[in-house]
């Protein structure tokens, strides 16, 4: 599946523009991590782009989130490793990520929300004005962006062998590269 086809599929299934932007952000971070780890950027990007494809269908039943999406993608003949990464990114299933790509998606998903929240409290509301140091400080504020699961984000150290600062730097730079698409 090409990126263009994946984006069309995403927009067919997700109408909320903020959720589409979230998927674009996760795609960017996944591509940045793929570059860092010398992996397939296209495959990792598609994984990030499609990871929440079932969110609107399953929002009232979070235990089905990612299972429905993985089945949808499997039915379309998407690579099994992408489908599995989509399936295991939802911690509710207690199906732990195993591959590097699965682990990257698992920790990247909540981090993008923290980054967006940190941008929105800046006077400029511009992602290019956000610094890693500021993001690290916001990370320490447990009341800030409470839905961004810090326990999962911190798994970057175990899963990716990256400390928080390195992980935040790669992720922030990746999202800054698509700031226009994120309207940030």
CA distances from 153 to 1, 103, 150, 166, 181 (A): 29, 10, 5, 12, 24
Task: Give pLDDT tens digits for 132-158.
Answer: 999 999 999 999 999 999 999 999 999
- What's the CA gap between 60 and 55, in Å, rounded? 9
Each residue's pLDDT, cut to its tens digit, for the chain (184 residues) gives: 999 999 999 999 999 999 999 999 999 999 999 999 999 999 999 999 999 999 999 999 989 999 999 999 999 999 999 999 999 999 888 889 999 999 999 999 999 999 999 999 999 999 999 999 999 999 999 999 999 999 999 999 999 999 999 999 999 999 999 999 999 9
Distance CA 34, CA 17 (A): 25
Measured CA to CA in angstroms, residue 142 lies from 81, 91, 114, 132, 166 at distances of: 33, 20, 11, 17, 20
Domain residues of the chain, as ranges? Answer: 3-182
How far is residue 42 CA from its own chain's centroid? 15
Residues with Cβ within 8 Å of 87's Cβ and at least 6 positions away in sequence, in order, are 66, 67, 69, 70, 93, 95
Question: What architecture (CATH level 2) is domain 3-182?
Answer: Orthogonal Bundle (1.10)
CA–CA gap between residue 183 and residue 88 (Å, rounded): 29
pTM: 0.97
User: In angstroms, how far is CA 138 from the centroid of its own chain?
Assistant: 18
Residue-wise burial string across 77-113, b where 16 or more C-beta atoms lie within 10 A, e elsewhere: ebeeebbbbbbbbbbeeeeebeebbbbbbbbbbbbbb
SS3 category, 156: helix
């Amino acid at each position: 599946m090409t990126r263009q086809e994946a984006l069309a599929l995403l927009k067919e299934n997700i109408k909320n523009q903020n959720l589409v932007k979230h998927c674009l952000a996760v795609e960017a971070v996944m591509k940045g991590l793929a570059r860092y780890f010398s992996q397939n950027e296209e495959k990792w990007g598609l994984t990030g782009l499609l990871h929440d494809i079932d969110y609107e269908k399953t929002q009232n039943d979070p235990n089905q989130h990612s299972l429905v999406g993985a089945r949808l993608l499997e039915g379309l003949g998407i690579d099994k490793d992408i489908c599995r990464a989509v399936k295991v990114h939802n911690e509710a299933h207690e199906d732990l990520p195993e591959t590097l790509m699965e682990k990257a998606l698992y920790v990247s998903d909540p981090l993008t929300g923290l980054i967006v929240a940190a941008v929105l409290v800046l006077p400029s509301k511009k992602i290019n004005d956000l610094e890693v140091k500021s993001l690290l400080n916001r990370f320490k504020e447990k009341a800030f962006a409470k839905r961004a699961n810090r326990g999962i984000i911190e798994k970057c150290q175990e899963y990716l062998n990256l400390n928080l600062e390195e992980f935040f730097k790669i992720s922030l730079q990746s999202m800054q590269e698509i700031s226009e698409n994120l309207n940030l």
